[in-house]
Amino acid sequence: MSADVSAPSSRTRHDGLAGPTAGPGTVGLTALDRPPMIAPAPPPRYGRNGQLKRRPSSSLWRMRRYLLPYRARFIAMIVFAAVGLAAGIVIPLVTKAVIDGPIAESDKTGLYALGLFALALGMVEATLMFFRRWVVAKATLGTETGIRTDLYAKLQRLPMAFHGRWQSGQLLSRMMNDLSTVRRFLGFGMLFITMNILQILVVTILLLNMYWPLGLVVLASIFPVSWLCLRNEREYTRLSRRVQDQTGDVASAVEEGAHGIRVIKAFGRGDHVFAKFDAGSVRLFQTSMERVKLTSKFWTFLEVIPSVTLIIVLGFGAVAAGQDRLTLGTLVAFITMMLSLVWPVAALGFLLSQAQEAMTAADRIAEIFDAENEITDGTSAIEAVRGRVRFEGAAFRFADAETDVLHDLNLDIAPGETVALVGATGSGKTAFTALVPRLYDVTAGRITIDGVDIRDLRLSQLRTIVATAFEDPTLFSMSARENLTLGRPDATDDEIAEAIDVAQAHFVYELPWGLNTRIGEQGMSLSGGQRQRLALARAVLARPAVLVLDDTLSALDIHTEALVEEALKRVLVGVTGIVVAHRASTVLLADRVAMLAGGTITHVGTHTELLDTVPEYRALLSAEFDPEDQLDEIEQTWLEEEAAR
């Protein structure tokens, strides 16, 4: 019996991956069950000379659907911002009215009325600012989480081939840094570009209206400020990128110094390595200094220009006031309003570069959403799985390689039969095992299970039929139980105990919190042998019809290995097995041996046949013979013999 014909409840779970077909009983629909909400890419447009034309904002615009659930909040944000802006603009006007009206005329009632009005406006402005920020928090962060969840789902669906091309660090920087750049722009940059432009326009008009000659002075000062900002922003971004790159260089020198410390010490090359590190650090220092110089000038000028404008306004304003062409209240209001322009103008440069960054970031995110999934789901299902695996002229090569890793693979494994795969390091054994669960697809020929091409099978069923224990087992930073039940979250305690028994992984019970102990990077660290035994238990627990063991016993000591092999013999009864083997003792688990050399299967036969007739096979096994393990065993048996005597 194989796992896919078990109770219907577990069936929905195992099959649910492929989409919403799992039936009304399914719960917990996730982002995996629907396509990402990102809008499809617009059809490419070509310029006159046939070059691809891209609108820089297009990727960002494609994210629009993620905003929809929060549209009420975004609209509220805009309204609050606009009203707050209006209040902020009116306050200096009221100040002017106070000075020109009640104060000039010594009208206390008027003073109180207008003063209280100004006070109230100030409170309204602050309150609106509060509401805007309060309301927008959930909207922007919710949008970010929405995109992030879809991105993660997309990445989980993408095949091994994709992940082989992309380092997880690059993916991480898209998922965290780029996404927060986009989020910042959505919640802040976009709004303030509009609001600042609006504010600059309105205030300039008001200033011109108040007293146009001074208004012109202010208008004239806007240009050098915005020019300065734009230019410096560009230069600053360039320098910051360089600082970032050089920080990265220093970091890799640091990593080398840390990871290679033993080699460095063995050759006494500390000075050599330090020189390399130091050169990078000095370069970084120089670029940082350039940036310091730029910002020191930039920030100073940014402060100086308004001050100079203020002096000019004051000088002319005072003269104008002296000639009665301007009231003192207007002068004060003028100065206050003018100063309120400093930030919106100065921020424009920063905001525009933020917008540009957000567009680039959105491009980088869209790139992942647009990645083609080469491994597509099939539609067939096998009713009663028997577990006959056939390689029919199968070949495989990596996407960017020029030669096949494996070619002309022909092998027929009968249901319940176990085949050992033997080959030298680099002969393609691991690639071979990855083809069966379709972690990679064959690039020629085909592989069938019970006569069905595995590419036509539902992926979820295929991977239920096939379970693999990897040589370098991945442990996740989760409880030991969660790690064990990776392929079967609903396994009972008895089943878990049984699998632990088979894999001789009893050490998990002795961990500080037993099966609930966190293992992996962020938890208890386990030895190579312990990790392999967990991986084996994981595979056994999945109760597959086809069990693939990719050199799962290599890190076990000879004693444990013997116990595991004994238990495996029982597990492999009635299960089709593919066992990558290094040692004669592991080979003996198998009914037949297939020898891989030069990317293909050169010999198939029993262990004794190959040992007698194939010298390369003999050489291989001889090379895998490990004196240390063997001496351990010799010592063990001698001790036992002594004890018996």
Residues 38-77 that bind another protein (CB under 8 A): none
Residue 205 CA: distances (Å) to CA of 194, 201, 219, 277, 308? 17, 6, 9, 56, 21
Among 157, 234, 386, 446, binds another protein (CB under 8 A): 157
Where in 605-644 is the site for another protein (CB under 8 A)? 611, 616, 618-623, 625-635
The two structure tokens encoding residue 118: 């100004």
The 3-state DSSP class for residue 380 equals: strand
How big is the CA angle at 555 (ends 549 and 560), to the nearest 5 degrees? 90
In the bound state with another protein, the residue whose beta carbon lies nearer, of 99 and 449, is: 99
Residue 209 CA: distances (Å) to CA of 213, 468, 573? 10, 78, 94
Other Cβ atoms less than 10 A from the Cβ of 353: the count is 18
The two structure tokens encoding residue 278: 């130091």
Residue 115 CA: distances (Å) to CA of 233, 239, 299, 339, 568? 41, 48, 35, 21, 88
In the bound state with another protein, the residue whose beta carbon lies nearer, of 21 and 300, is: 300
**Interface mask (CB under 8 A) for another protein, residues 528-567, using x and -?**
----------x---x--------------x----------
Number of amino acids touching another protein (CB under 8 A): 179
Examine residue 176 and tell whether it contacts another protein (CB under 8 A).
yes
What are residue 397's phi and psi, to 5 degrees?
-140, 150
In the bound state with another protein, the residue whose beta carbon lies nearer, of 140 and 418, is: 140
CB of 46 vs another protein, minimal distance in Å: 35
Nearest to 97 by CA among 284, 291, 329: 329
How big is the CA angle at 535 (ends 534 and 540), to the nearest 5 degrees? 95
Whether residue 536 contacts residue 471, with contact meaning beta carbons closer than 8 Å, is answered with no
Where in 371-410 is the site for another protein (CB under 8 A)? none
In the bound state with another protein, the residue whose beta carbon lies nearer, of 238 and 559, is: 559
Among 83, 193, 352, 424, binds another protein (CB under 8 A): 424
In the bound state with another protein, the residue whose beta carbon lies nearer, of 32 and 39, is: 32
Where in 445-464 is the site for another protein (CB under 8 A)? 460, 463-464
Full DSSP string of 142-193: HHHHHHHHHHHHHHHHS-HHHHHHS-HHHHHHIIIIIHHHHHHIIIIIHHHH
Where in 314-333 is the site for another protein (CB under 8 A)? 314-315, 318-319, 321-324, 328, 331-332
Q: Residue 226 is inside which H or E element, if any?
A: helix 212-259
Full DSSP string of 43-78: PPEE-TTSPEE--TTHHHHHGGGGTGGGHHHHHHHH
The two structure tokens encoding residue 549: 């063991």
In the bound state with another protein, the residue whose beta carbon lies nearer, of 453 and 616, is: 616
CB of 427 vs another protein, minimal distance in Å: 8
Examine residue 115 and tell whether it contacts another protein (CB under 8 A).
yes
Nearest to 14 by CA among 381, 343, 421: 381
Among 1, 68, 72, 172, binds another protein (CB under 8 A): 172
Where in 249-308 is the site for another protein (CB under 8 A)? 250-252, 254-270, 272-274, 277-278, 281-282, 285, 288-289, 292-293, 295-297, 299-301, 303-304, 307-308
Examine residue 134 and tell whether it contacts another protein (CB under 8 A).
yes
Whether residue 531 contacts residue 555, with contact meaning beta carbons closer than 8 Å, is answered with yes
Q: Residue 280 is inside which H or E element, if any?
A: helix 270-322
Among 86, 160, 200, 347, binds another protein (CB under 8 A): 160
Where in 14-33 is the site for another protein (CB under 8 A)? 14, 16-17, 26-28, 30-32
Examine residue 344 and tell whether it contacts another protein (CB under 8 A).
no
CB of 51 vs another protein, minimal distance in Å: 31
In the bound state with another protein, the residue whose beta carbon lies nearer, of 89 and 99, is: 99
Q: CB neighbours of 256 closer than 8 A, spacing ≥ 6?
A: 273, 276
Among 65, 78, 86, 163, binds another protein (CB under 8 A): 163
Where in 505-534 is the site for another protein (CB under 8 A)? 512-513, 516-524
CB of 17 vs another protein, minimal distance in Å: 6
Where in 580-609 is the site for another protein (CB under 8 A)? 583-585
CB of 370 vs another protein, minimal distance in Å: 18
Report the C-alpha gap between 546 and 578 in whole angstroms.
8
Q: Which stretch binds another protein (CB under 8 A): 154-162, 190-198, 356-364, 400-408?
A: 154-162
Nearest to 151 by CA among 346, 366, 2: 366
Among 99, 191, 454, 545, binds another protein (CB under 8 A): 99
Could you tell me which residues are beta bridge partners of residue 479? 518
> Taking the chain, what is the end-to-end CA distance rounded to the nearest angstrom?
48
Where in 196-255 is the site for another protein (CB under 8 A)? 247, 250-252, 254-255
